[in-house]
Structure 1
Amino acid sequence: MTPALPLAALGLVDAAFSGFRAYAGRDARIRKRRGAARAALRGLAVGSVLLLAPTAAAVALLLTAADRSRTYALLAAGGLGYLLPLAVFAAAVLLSLAVYLVLPFRAGTVAIVLGCGPLTLLRPLAVAAACLGALVTGGGWPALLVGTVAGAAVLCVEPIVHRRWYPAPL
C-alpha cells in the first residue's frame, strides 16, 4: 500500500485547520461560522498548492532515478514511517476535538485549551518526528527529502494565510 493518499489527506485537513487558526481570534462577532469556513477554505487552497512541492520532488526523484522500482520502494517505506507519527498526532487532535464536542461548554472549552493549544505548538516537533520516521524505516535520503519538503509545506500554510488575508484584527 502506498501511504501517499493518507498523507495527502492529512496534509489537506491540516491545511484547513491552519487556515482556521490564522483567522481565529481576529473577529469579535459571536456568529462567525461564515468567516471560519472561508478561512478553512483559504487554508485548504493554499495547502493544496503548497503540497504540490513534495509531489513534484517525489516525481523528480522517480524520473531521475537509475532504479525506479527501488526508489519507489524507498519512498513507500519512508512514507509509512512518516505517516505513523503524524497519525498519532492526528489521533490526539481528534480526541481533543471529540472531547470539546461531547462535553458541556465550559468543560469542552477547557479540553480544547489544554488539548489543541499545546498540540498546535507541538506541530513542528510532530513534523520532525515524521521526518525521522521516514529515515529510520528505511526510506533513506529520498524519503527524507520528500518528507522535509512536505513538512515545510504544511508548516507554511498558516503564516501564508495569516499574512495574505488576516494581517490586522478585523
Structure 2
Amino acid sequence: MRAAVLVAPLLALLGLLDATFSGFRAYAGRDARIRKHRATARAALRGLAVGGVLLLAPALTAALLLLTAPDPARRYDALAAGGLGFLAPLTVYATAVLLSLAAYFVLPFRASTLAMVIGLGPLTLLRPLAVATACLGALLNGGGGPGLLVGVLAAVAVLCVEPVVHRRWYRHVQ
C-alpha cells in the first residue's frame, strides 16, 4: 500500500522532467549563438509548463475513474498496479538517459561527444517505443482498462510536449 502512494508522484515527476527535456529539444539546434543559456532555460521552462498542462489529462481521468467507481478501493488498486507497470519500463529508460547525460558532462570532450552520439541520440529515437512499452506494462501489470486508459493519456501527453512547444515558439526562429 505504501509503495502505491508513491506511484503517482513519481510518474508526475518523471513526466514533468521529460517535458522539461522536450522543451529543450524543441529549441536545440535552432540558435547559433554561443551564449544561449537564457534561451535554453526558457525553452526548458516552456516544456515544463506545456507538460504540466498536458499531464492534467491523465491525472483528471484517474481522479474521475476513482470518483465514479462502484468499488473505489479496487479501482485504486488497479490504477496503482497499472502505474507500477507504467513506471517500470520508464525507470529503465530514464536510467539509461541519466547515465548518458552523466557521461556527457563528466567525460573529456571526445568521449562526451561519443556518449552523446551513441547514447542520447538513439535514446531520443527510442523514446516513443519506451512510452508504448510503459502502456503495455500498465495493462499487463494488472491495471486493466482503467490503467491502460490513464497510461495512454499520459503517453500522448508526454509525446505531444515537444511538437506543441516547437509549433508555438520555435517554428520560425531567426
One-letter code of the match for 1:42? R
Mapped partners of 1:57, 1:127: distance in 2 = 18
The SS at the match of 1:28 is: coil
What's the TM-score once normalised by structure 2's chain length?
0.96
Question: Following TM superposition, by how much is the alpha carbon of 1:114 offset from its aligned partner in structure 2, in angstroms?
Answer: 1.3
1:15 and 2:47 aligned: no
Question: Following TM superposition, by how much is the alpha carbon of 1:109 offset from its aligned partner in structure 2, in angstroms?
Answer: 1.3
Question: Following TM superposition, by how much is the alpha carbon of 1:168 offset from its aligned partner in structure 2, in angstroms?
Answer: 2.1
The SS at the match of 2:81 is: helix
Q: Which runs of 5+ in 1 are unaligned?
A: none
Matching residue of 1:139: 143
Matching residue of 2:133: 129
Runs of 4+ more than 3 Å apart: none
Matching residue of 1:103: 107
The number of equivalent residue pairs is: 170
One-letter code of the match for 1:17? F
Q: CA offsets, 1:12-69, max 9 Å, x none?
A: 0000000000000000001111111000000000000000000011011111111110
Question: Following TM superposition, by how much is the alpha carbon of 1:103 offset from its aligned partner in structure 2, in angstroms?
Answer: 0.7
Matching residue of 1:55: 59
Q: CA offsets, 1:121-154, max 9 Å, x none?
A: 1111001100111111111110000000000000
Matching residue of 1:151: 155
Matching residue of 2:88: 84
State the percentage of identical aligned residues.
Answer: 71
One-letter code of the match for 1:101? F
Q: Which runs of 5+ in 2 are unaligned?
A: none
Root mean square deviation of aligned Cα: 0.7
